[in-house]
Structure 1
């Protein structure tokens, strides 16, 4: 080390732009050093990262064609990836955060990060729940589920709700929000283990393995003989096409993501869009960040549900920064069961 106040800082960097499915070899672990003190005159905070969140949206900035016109800045070869995480403030030049504060928000995929703009950081006030929850359930993924279901879909008791990628970070919570409201809920996922999880632990009324279904239209008619009121869209492609055929009049579709399309050089077309007109379907894409004024409301409600035992959240936590590339790649292969995060370090420096 170059001095007493310098520490090693391991980083996950993008080695090369990605085409097709990402591979572990597209990323590399490097080691640098950094001072645990912000320079005089600087702004923001210096944090030690504790948990990193692996999320499907991270695939898009890995492509050479992505750019700053998208809602996320792109990654650059040789530079660390970034995404949502849970961190501890080591040094601060911000009046909003002090040394020792626990925060969640956008950070680097590294042991320590300098965050110059703190408007994407939220102080963690309640540590009576696992800290990892703020990389999922009480962080971006959970808030996405809340906004997409409650704000975009205008749900009511008795609605028939379908959730794709239902065993993932967002879908598992959407289904539970729907059940708490008194809806009939069906989810789909890609393995027997995930189907058992949805039906036996997360309380979905029904669930099916989409990989075992050869006619998705017929499958949805089997589970929704009178049609679907709400579809929480996570996958796109043929699933969305089949859903459009099975929506009720004035159905609502909340578009959270389309993970089946992220690794394709040419995304699949949708053929049944005429149903949007015929059935007067409301389809709306959204970003949770556009609704962040609702976060305190979401946090209060969700913490109450957790403490009352009304919500179960399944996590899949890899350990060590070295495990991060495999964990991120795994979510595009369906390897994770529940919310995929990476544990970096305990909350000490």
Structure 2
């Protein structure tokens, strides 16, 4: 196999002030490095775009180090080993890693995992059988701990994380109510994913529609949005409801994230827990095995929005932050 001498990558050129703009990124052509002992050269096939990246672009203190300027943008990837000086990997292996917004990458193998594509599509390892799926699995099983017959509410229900949460809930015997933006997304959540109901927050009747869809109240909330969406869900909680706070994407668009129904945290004795799924790696083997089996058996459905070529990544990411994507947002690099 002939290996190219150069590849393209996208770096963070400047930090966004408010909304992310195309000029915050820069496309570069760089040489393919020589491998040292223990290293692996990978040709990335797909790049994952995820909301957490917006937080990393900021210089403010957070749960993880901020994205360095002029460095390859962080991001999960799946691809094929082109060359290896690591005994655990050989050319032709499919692997998942965090090689960023780049056509190629070099790894020491520490953050790689081999992927079996015989029953699971390669791209699914960035979605339902990857970090988003694990966020859904962990929040639902370890924080919400929902029981059969309970009602759960999932915001961003058509997205890569929320779509998995609702399906896991239905498999558990729960009533699953989604919140999504637009009639098309809500129809998909109900008709394809099997949720019991889905509220279109863009219709302007969020509180009343959510009340109608949760006649027995809410026992668990999986929150990806924050702000008014979380507030509406809090208003429907039963005593001792559990809230898994996975994301607050509304904040990146400048929305008010204050919780007006905070008194219900006390009145209903609620448990609200934020989590970062990469801090709970001890659960990943179990979770990924279960998610992979569900996908392979056709019991867990997912949808992808796929942008073509590395140069399309900035616009695709901006679209993700604006809610233009439908399902998991990927960039196809090969």
Same fold (TM over 0.5): yes
Measure how far apart 1:267 and its partner are: 5.2
1:60 and 1:180 map into 2 onto residues whose CA distance is: 33
1:24 and 1:312 map into 2 onto residues whose CA distance is: 32
1:197 and 1:335 map into 2 onto residues whose CA distance is: 15
2:77 and 2:30 map into 1 onto residues whose CA distance is: 20
Say yes or no: does 1:54 pair with 2:52.
no
2:242 and 2:72 map into 1 onto residues whose CA distance is: 38
2:267 and 2:86 map into 1 onto residues whose CA distance is: 53
RMSD: 1.9
Measure how far apart 1:78 and its partner are: 2.2
Where does 1:159-178 land on structure 2 (aligned, <5 Å)?
A: 159-178=150-169
Question: May I ask how many residue pairs the two structures share in their alignment?
Answer: 333
Measure how far apart 1:283 and its partner are: 0.8
Where does 1:197-276 land on structure 2 (aligned, <5 Å)?
A: 197-214=188-205, 216-264=206-254, 268-276=257-265
> Paired residue for 1:38?
35
2:87 and 2:60 map into 1 onto residues whose CA distance is: 34
CA deviations over 1:310-342 (Å, ceiling 9, x no partner):
221111111111111111111111111110001
Counterpart of 1:147 (choices 125, 134, 138) is 138
Measure how far apart 1:7 and its partner are: 1.6
> Paired residue for 1:66?
60
- Secondary structure of 1:283's counterpart equals strand
Counterpart of 1:281 (choices 249, 265, 270) is 270
2:45 and 2:117 map into 1 onto residues whose CA distance is: 16
Measure how far apart 1:97 and its partner are: 3.1
2:118 and 2:3 map into 1 onto residues whose CA distance is: 29
Measure how far apart 1:93 and its partner are: 4.4
CA deviations over 1:141-162 (Å, ceiling 9, x no partner):
1111111111211111111011
Where does 1:113-128 land on structure 2 (aligned, <5 Å)?
A: 113-116=105-108, 118-128=109-119
2:5 and 2:121 map into 1 onto residues whose CA distance is: 27
Measure how far apart 1:222 and its partner are: 1.4
8 Å Cα contact 2:3/2:82 also seen in 1: no
8 Å Cα contact 1:213/1:219 also seen in 2: no
> Paired residue for 2:76?
84
TM-score w.r.t. the length of structure 1 is 0.90
8 Å Cα contact 1:86/1:135 also seen in 2: yes
CA deviations over 1:182-232 (Å, ceiling 9, x no partner):
111110111111011111111111112101124x33332111122100100
Structure 2 unmatched ranges of 5 or more: none
Measure how far apart 1:286 and its partner are: 1.3
Query: 1:272–1:91: structure 2 CA closer, same or farther, 3 Å change rule?
Result: same
> Paired residue for 1:299?
288
> Paired residue for 2:6?
8
TM-score w.r.t. the length of structure 2 is 0.93
- Secondary structure of 1:108's counterpart equals coil
Query: 1:91–1:250: structure 2 CA closer, same or farther, 3 Å change rule?
Result: same
1:261 and 1:233 map into 2 onto residues whose CA distance is: 13
CA deviations over 1:50-84 (Å, ceiling 9, x no partner):
11001000001112x235xx333222332220111
- Secondary structure of 2:264's counterpart equals helix
Structure 1 unmatched ranges of 5 or more: none
CA deviations over 1:158-180 (Å, ceiling 9, x no partner):
11011000000101111111111
- Secondary structure of 2:329's counterpart equals strand
